[in-house]
Structure 1
């Protein structure tokens, strides 16, 4: 890659462009993504993403990092665009538990509470230096009938503010001990109305759907396959490439074969590479990295980055920074086209039809 020469470095810094290696990892300005901008120097600018498509501004117990403080976290990193997820499943208001994994038996139930808090925060504290997309996270995929009416209520109360749905759970084994049950094949057939409503609104939906577990690697894959087959026109984002802590030993070749087959079959399917489980148990395993890099280069227009950070009140900026770095580490090895599409946000802008564009990567 060709480095920016000194004057270009200076000019780019003023416009939020190429940063020196001694500069803080603050990244470019939001305005620099409007129209043409200085080329992106991969040797001196961050490899972490400019968009965090999987960011939970609200935790399971409601005790969150304040909205403006969370936005300040983003401004201190490379991120200028983010999906504002709540968490659609919360513990009872009178529960003292902050981590459902440590509280088996405590129900984690669908609710609108976090979405409404996020919307109110956006009304009061919308930032000037970030582009935030509100997402509806309330949907219970095992009980879909009320979803359309609730979407209409959202639009009446917060007109024009929500442009995404998810993360919503098709099957999430981590919550089985908290009374979560996977949507059944019959349940999936009942998504017709709300999936049609999402298509009318051109809104993507992010679905958490575990492929399986270490004992039965493809146990739950048929559920996601059915959703894709029934709703091929919907913009479906498969969270975490289908992985989970219950499944950490699948061979990279098998995982990639499943994803490749479905991406080829369903042109509207996208993947997100959020959650550091992918880095820790798949991308970093000896022999795996090259396979995943080749896969991402091949399907570079079908992948979205994300941290999967949850804004628990006790989480610090350093925690967010570490999650962003871990989930973005694979970006370093992508080719320039894939880096622009994924890390620099071009896929995200295209998916939502935003009037922004990713900078081109500097060439030698």
Structure 2
């Protein structure tokens, strides 16, 4: 039986979460995930995830929290691994708008701007105590033809730096008033070139694709189903469990049935549980919670955690901390296997074939 090392030992202070003298949990270092470490004591260590797979280092308007400051936010929490997303759909550079929701009619258009800023920052400010995975977020899924050429440009300018694609929008109703158009079934067939390139590079792709809305619960589901059917060998991550603010009343049983069917049918599909909308409208409801916990336990190897924090300059560490806590809250109810795979990062390490491993959970 594995047990945490005594709190008085230095190695325990570095590698485990035993509480310090003031009862503050000691957070694990990045190095502690490089090999076998002290088991994870769920009674004394945080339930917040060690990996944030859905983190936007850049906002819609370019006025961002500095890169190093965002990294400092992570270092103050349990997070040691993160995906560096930009936001591929930006407001015009000369726009005074900072929140597209308050500026109907102002276009939010795909661009490479945020990705190149992130790449430059990674080269100049790569942290020693975090593992960051840079993602391409520029792709316009309704106009995919330029994607392969742009991927080639990225590799020329920043060789070996990008290892993920997304978050990219298949259908995002929140941006309909800002000239976003969903990709059509015909558009999806035109993804073949860049999806083949992603497979060749072994990059996952995170897709935002709303299932539907409260008036029509599965209105857009056929679009995601078509993408999965055409590209079953791609590592596809479905963002936010397919939900959105336009869909806050879906029955948990129906939602879970859709996800379960597609996970069973497509072995390369993964689901991310980012965005606090899931906690606020679904997970936290008393009747729903046991259903979602059972779902996450059942598909323990197919789930990725994330905050969906956006590094807009108006946000700060307290906002990130609250988002991380809210999006991680469901994790405290998972069984040990699911907690290790999801919260402690094992799924993420395997997906990217990283030379890291999650600690085992202490047995009691």
- Which residue pairs with 1:306 in the alignment? 306
Q: 1:8 to 1:184 in 2, by over 3 A?
A: farther
The C-alpha deviation readout for 1:31-79, integer Å capped at 9, x for no partner, is 0000100000000000000000000000000000000000000000000
Tell me, yes or no, if the aligned pair for 2:77 and 2:321 is still in contact at 8 Å: yes
Q: How does 1:279-298 map to 2 (within 5 A)?
A: 279-298=279-298
Match of 2:256, SS state, is helix
- Measured after TM superposition, the shift of residue 356 of structure 1 is 0.2
Q: 1:10 to 1:50 in 2, by over 3 A?
A: same
Structure 1: segments with no counterpart, 5+ residues: none
Tell me, yes or no, if the aligned pair for 2:110 and 2:140 is still in contact at 8 Å: yes
Aligned length: 363
Match of 2:206, SS state, is strand
Structure 2: segments with no counterpart, 5+ residues: none
- Which residue pairs with 1:191 in the alignment? 191
Q: Using the alignment, how far apart are the partners of 2:36 and 2:326 within structure 1?
A: 29
The C-alpha deviation readout for 1:273-294, integer Å capped at 9, x for no partner, is 0000000000011210000000
- Measured after TM superposition, the shift of residue 23 of structure 1 is 4.9
TM-score norm. by structure 1 comes to: 0.98
The C-alpha deviation readout for 1:146-172, integer Å capped at 9, x for no partner, is 000000000000000000000000000
- Which residue pairs with 1:225 in the alignment? 225
Tell me, yes or no, if the aligned pair for 1:3 and 1:43 is still in contact at 8 Å: no
The C-alpha deviation readout for 1:126-149, integer Å capped at 9, x for no partner, is 000000000000000000000000
- Which residue pairs with 1:20 in the alignment? 19
The C-alpha deviation readout for 1:60-119, integer Å capped at 9, x for no partner, is 000000000000000000000000000000000011111100110110000000000000
Tell me, yes or no, if the aligned pair for 2:25 and 2:44 is still in contact at 8 Å: no
TM-score norm. by structure 2 comes to: 0.98
Q: 1:7 to 1:205 in 2, by over 3 A?
A: same
Match of 2:358, SS state, is coil
- Which residue pairs with 2:48 in the alignment? 48
Cα RMSD over matched residues?
1.3
Tell me, yes or no, if the aligned pair for 2:276 and 2:307 is still in contact at 8 Å: yes
The C-alpha deviation readout for 1:232-271, integer Å capped at 9, x for no partner, is 0000000000000000000000000000000000000000
- Which residue pairs with 2:360 in the alignment? 360
Match of 2:301, SS state, is helix
